[in-house]
C-alpha cells in the first residue's frame, strides 16, 4: 500500500464506520495520534480498543480528502470530516490534516491534526 492508498483507506474505514478495517491498516507497532485521544495509540489492538467508542458514537460518517501529497513512504493530506452523532445530539464536522508513514505496505504512523474547540 502506498501512502496515498493508505490515506484513502483510512477515510474509507471511517466512511464505513469499520473499526476493524481501520486497525488492520496498521503494522504491529504502528502508531495513531488523534487530538481527541489522551495518548498515542500503539499497535492494532490498542487502536482497535481505544477507537471503538469513537466509531460507535457515530451513525454516519463521510470523510473526504481535498489534497494529497506523497513522497517516498510518507503522505500528507487535507480533508473534511462530516458525521452524525448516533444519539441524535448533533454533528461533528471539521477540517483536518493527516500525515502517514508506510512501512512494508502497512501504516507505521498516522497523525491527525484538527482544532478540537467545539468538539470536546
* For residues 21-34, average pLDDT: 97
| Domains by residue range for the chain, with CATH | 3-113 (3.10.450.50)
Contacts 24+ apart (CB under 8 A), 2-7: 2/70, 2/75, 2/102, 3/70, 3/73, 3/74, 3/75, 3/100, 3/101, 3/102, 4/68, 4/70, 4/75, 6/75, 6/100, 6/102, 6/107, 6/110, 7/65, 7/68, 7/75, 7/77, 7/98, 7/100
Q: 3-7, 77-81, 101-105, 113-117 — which is least confidently predicted? A: 113-117
Q: Helix or strand or coil: residue 47? A: helix
pLDDT of residue 117: 79
Amino acid at each position: 500500500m502506498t501512502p496515498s492508498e493508505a490515506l484513502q483507506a483510512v477515510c474509507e474505514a471511517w466512511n464505513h464506520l469499520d473499526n476493524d478495517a481501520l486497525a488492520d491498516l496498521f503494522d504491529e507497532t504502528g502508531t495513531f495520534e488523534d487530538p481527541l485521544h489522551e495518548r498515542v495509540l500503539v499497535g492494532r489492538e490498542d487502536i482497535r480498543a481505544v477507537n471503538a467508542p469513537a466509531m460507535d458514537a457515530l451513525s454516519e460518517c463521510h470523510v473526504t480528502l481535498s489534497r494529497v501529497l506523497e513522497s517516498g513512504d510518507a503522505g500528507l493530506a487535507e480533508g473534511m470530516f462530516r458525521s452524525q452523532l448516533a444519539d441524535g445530539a448533533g454533528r461533528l464536522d471539521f477540517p483536518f490534516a493527516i500525515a502517514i508513514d508506510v512501512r512494508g505496505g502497512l501504516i507505521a504512523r498516522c497523525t491527525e491534526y484538527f482544532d478540537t474547540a467545539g468538539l470536546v
